[in-house]
Amino acid sequence: MKKSVAPPPVLRVPPTQEAVLDAAVASFLTRGYGGTSIDLVARDAGVARRTIYNQFKSKEALFEAAVRQVWSDFPVLEITQDIAALSNPEHGLRLLGQAVADFWAPPETVALLRMVIAEGTIFPDLAQRFMAAGKEPAMKALVTYLETCAHRGTLTFSDAVRVAKQFLGLINEPLLWLRVVGAEAGAPGPAERKRVVQEAVSVILSAYAKRPK
């Protein structure tokens, strides 16, 4: 009889820290980075100012933690380590593409990106902190997944970073960027997101899937 393997424990954010991060995200979205202060976040979260400094040390560190909180809803690591996704790139790319499309669907995530772009010229480190806390780890996981597919021989290419950017561009161009600049108000519905993802997967497979000899 096979022994069942217990799943890894879920890391849960302490209630006080979760309240602080929720208040921080809301403040950055409504007040902007420049308009947010530790005092305001402490007031909104109902905690002492010292409590936040004990956990995050600075507004910059609080912003990074808030970004990580937002990106925690993006299950890229789980997907890229899934056995079925590793053995079948069509399945894996579809899951990854759908995760990307669904991650940017809520207005809050688009608003956060818009805020980073708008205030990045005033606070030069803002964009880098946003990238380091969220996008870069997700991109690294996607690139590693593509490299694994290439190593297994299911995809063939010379530059995994380029393929990752192509894949994300096929999804984000029709679904995200018009919303970022305000040209489209609402998020595309589930059917439209699914269609865009499937087309992106088809393009990547047409270009890079290994052909039988």
What are 43-67's pLDDT values in tens digits? 999 999 999 999 998 999 999 899 8
- Threshold 0.85, pTM exceeds: no
Cα–Cα distance list, 160 to 119, 123, 197 (Å): 31, 31, 19
Q: Name the DSSP class of 155.
A: B
Around Cβ 187, how many Cβ atoms within 10 Å?
A: 19
pLDDT tier for residue 68 given thresholds of 50, 70 and 90: confident
pLDDT tier for residue 213 given thresholds of 50, 70 and 90: low
What are 117-129's pLDDT values in tens digits? 888 888 888 888 8
Is the model's pLDDT at 212 over the cut of 90?
no
Token reading at 9: 């424990």
Instruction: Give helix 160-175 / helix 190-208 axis angle, nearest 10°.
Output: 150
Beta-bridged to residue 209, according to DSSP, are 155
The residue type of 105 is A
The residue type of 53 is Y
Is the model's pLDDT at 3 over the cut of 80?
no
For the chain, domains (ranges, CATH) are 17-68 (1.10.10.60), 73-208 (1.10.357.10)
Task: Tell me the three state secondary structure of residue 158.
Answer: coil
